[in-house]
Amino acid sequence: MWAVDGAVMLRAADTGDAPEAISALQRMKKAGERNGVAVPLAFYNMTLRACKRSRPPASADATRLLREMREHGPGPDAKTYHEVIAAYARAIEWKLAEQTFEEMKRDFRGRGPTWHPSVRVYTSLISAYGKGGQFEKASELFESLFASSHVQLDTGVYNALLSAAVNSGRYKDAAAVFERMQTEGVRRNVTTYNGMLQSLGRQRRIRDMENMSQSMQRAGVMPNETTYSVLITAHGNSGNIDRALELLHQVIIAPRLHATAVIFNSALGACVKAGNLEGTQRVLRVMETEGVRSTLVTYNTLLMEASAERDWVRATKIYKELLLSGFAPDTITLDCLCGIEKLQACREERLREEIKRAELEGIDLPEFERTCDVSDSPVGNLPVLIRALADDRELEEVPGWRGFVSDALLRVLHVNNEYAEVEDTFKYMLTSDVTRTVHTYNSLLISYEARKEWQKAGEAMTQMTSEGIVPNALTFDALIDVCEEMGQWDRATTWLEQAQAAGHFQCEDDLGVLDLHRIRSAGTAQNACARIRVEE
């Protein structure tokens, strides 16, 4: 009776297709009701596995499913909790992961003093802490496991701790974990080495990284897709585009490996950072011949290139293609659309050098100075181009397209200092019932921040919450900054407390040096640190 939907669900769980798994579960429940049979727990867990693997992670679906299981059965088991906590880890929801872990212990307390959470659940929680940049918490949990006799520590937990260190920028700690695996006799696998390669790459220790890659293969551990993407990214970030493309070629011809979209995205990133437009086009062509589909990251990377060139026509075209491919823009998309300052500065520096060379050769290039003067309108005619998408018939088939176009327009208008237009566009969204997102409100809030309108910012936050939209770090950042700047200290503190309760803006005290890498602005950072001192 479950065979057909079970197979659908299994495939959905493997590919991370949460909507597909959820609808299969719904069909199973209906069939179960007709026949008076309850859907087995295993299928609920399989659906949660799909939520965990879904991109972006379907953490809200996981929350709903867990609640449903608690209220109507089947009661969650250890596997259920593992999947839910892992889904939160992938969604960088470490606070939720921590809460759910506590709830699990409470639920299972009735099983007697001999019951202990499995090593896998601990691994997922450590991973959640790591993704949230909470190395102290990850380390504390690991050490308590190390000291206890209930669980046997395996390669997986060590790997989770190692990558927690890397994700929190604690490279010395990462190296210590790597050494400790050796002394404790824990086997190192490809994930272990990938963590170390990433750590060395982020420190720009390219030679050490290449040596580590060699010793990995000497130890009989073969590189996988992740290994290649880490290596390509590191070479791209240190400007060695030739080595990056050579590695891309290697993985394409490797018999046991498949060049994934992530690997192509790493290579594209290398080209974009180097300002190598021909390289980008070449990689895109190879990607197409290899039959690899673009992801949202691909489009975001291409947007970075177009906006660095201030080629707004191309940026608009890429944004449209992104929507036509069925992707919903994320925070990064909107940043990339309006231009990454560092990349724009690099490109202008290259142009300046070109001009210098041209002048030496007696050629005049007067039009460049004009394109560089962006003080009045930083994104030129981009608002006009994005606005034109609202009349684009091709987009009409894309679900939610009006909202996506409006979200882009809001951000672009804000960046172009067209504040009255921001407000008008937002009002239009309300009156025409265009779907709002967290991005809608973030653009509105940062534009209020720019105008120092703290009351309006507060009202926008209230309205956002009443619409059931969950604020993120950028939302709180804008609110806290504007309140602080206008001397609204109590309000700023209240927002900061709310933000921290949601798991944002946590500083860690690391050898007396505060770790502020997740905090966008100096203002927010100061505020967060002031609070920590008070708490101490």
Question: Cβ 435 to DNA, closest distance in Å?
Answer: 22
Question: Cβ 280 to DNA, closest distance in Å?
Answer: 12
Q: What token pair was written down for 14?
A: 């493997």
Gap between the Cα atoms of 478 and 517, Å rounded: 17
Using the minimum distance from each CB to DNA, give the nearer residue, 68 or 424. 68
Gap between the Cα atoms of 8 and 31, Å rounded: 15
> Between helices 277-289 and 261-274, what is the axis angle to 10°?
170
Q: Which three-class secondary structure state does DSSP give residue 514?
A: strand
Q: What token pair was written down for 279?
A: 């390289």
Gap between the Cα atoms of 225 and 240, Å rounded: 20
338 C-beta neighbours (distance < 10 Å), count: 21
Using the minimum distance from each CB to DNA, give the nearer residue, 421 or 477. 477
Closest to 161 measured CA to CA, from 150, 184, 208, 149: 184
Using the minimum distance from each CB to DNA, give the nearer residue, 116 or 456. 116
Amino acid at 408: A
One of 160, 174, 248, 287 touching DNA (CB under 7 A): 160
Q: Which three-class secondary structure state does DSSP give residue 513?
A: strand
Which parts of 125-144 interact with DNA (CB under 7 A)? 127, 130-131
Amino acid at 353: E
Which parts of 283-302 interact with DNA (CB under 7 A)? 295-297, 300-301
Site string for DNA, 7-36 (x = CB under 7 A): ---x---x----------------------
Task: For residue 502, report the phi and psi dihedrals to the nearest 5 degrees.
Answer: -85, 0
242 C-beta neighbours (distance < 10 Å), count: 12
Find the Cα–Cα–Cα–Cα dihedral 134, 138, 139, 140, rounded to 10°: 100
**Quick one: which segment of 19-27, 144-152, 229-237, 421-429 binds DNA (CB under 7 A)?**
229-237
Question: Cβ 70 to DNA, closest distance in Å?
Answer: 17
Measured in residues, the chain has a length of 536
One of 263, 382, 480, 492 touching DNA (CB under 7 A): 263
Which parts of 490-509 interact with DNA (CB under 7 A)? none
Report if residue 250 touches DNA, rule: CB under 7 A.
no
Yes or no: say if 308 and 273 are a contact pair by the CB < 8 Å rule. no
Cα 270 to Cα 230, 266, 430, 513: the distances in Å are 12, 6, 41, 32
Question: Cβ 459 to DNA, closest distance in Å?
Answer: 24
Question: Cβ 85 to DNA, closest distance in Å?
Answer: 8
Question: Cβ 419 to DNA, closest distance in Å?
Answer: 20
Question: Cβ 82 to DNA, closest distance in Å?
Answer: 7
Using the minimum distance from each CB to DNA, give the nearer residue, 55 or 350. 55
Q: Mind spelling out the 3-state secondary structure of 377-408?
A: CCCCCHHHHHHHHCCCHHHHHCCCHHHHHHHH
**Quick one: which segment of 261-269, 313-321, 397-405, 437-445 binds DNA (CB under 7 A)?**
261-269
Question: Cβ 21 to DNA, closest distance in Å?
Answer: 12
Cα radius of gyration rounded to whole Å, the chain? 25
Question: Cβ 140 to DNA, closest distance in Å?
Answer: 17
**Quick one: which segment of 122-130, 169-177, 210-218, 524-532 binds DNA (CB under 7 A)?**
122-130
Using the minimum distance from each CB to DNA, give the nearer residue, 87 or 483. 87
Give the binding-site size for DNA (rule: CB under 7 A): 68
What contacts 201, CB < 8 A, 6 or more positions away? 209, 230, 231, 233, 234, 237
Gap between the Cα atoms of 193 and 188, Å rounded: 7
Gap between the Cα atoms of 125 and 144, Å rounded: 13
What contacts 226, CB < 8 A, 6 or more positions away? 190, 191, 194
Question: Cβ 425 to DNA, closest distance in Å?
Answer: 22
Amino acid at 30: K
Which parts of 315-354 interact with DNA (CB under 7 A)? 331-332, 335-336, 340-343
One of 16, 132, 156, 403 touching DNA (CB under 7 A): 156
DSSP designation for 508:
E
Using the minimum distance from each CB to DNA, give the nearer residue, 55 or 451. 55
Using the minimum distance from each CB to DNA, give the nearer residue, 282 or 520. 520
Using the minimum distance from each CB to DNA, give the nearer residue, 206 or 332. 332
Q: Which helix (H) or strand (E) holds 515?
A: strand 513-515
Using the minimum distance from each CB to DNA, give the nearer residue, 300 or 406. 300
Question: Cβ 240 to DNA, closest distance in Å?
Answer: 14
Report if residue 107 touches DNA, rule: CB under 7 A.
no
Question: Cβ 48 to DNA, closest distance in Å?
Answer: 9
Report if residue 42 touches DNA, rule: CB under 7 A.
yes
DSSP designation for 110:
G
One of 473, 478, 480, 499 touching DNA (CB under 7 A): 473
* Residues lying near DNA in the complex (CB under 7 A): 10, 14, 42, 45-46, 49, 55, 79, 82-83, 86, 89, 120, 123-124, 127, 130-131, 154-157, 159-160, 163, 166-167, 189-191, 194-195, 198, 224-230, 233, 236-237, 260-263, 265-266, 269, 273, 295-297, 300-301, 304, 331-332, 335-336, 340-343, 473-474, 520
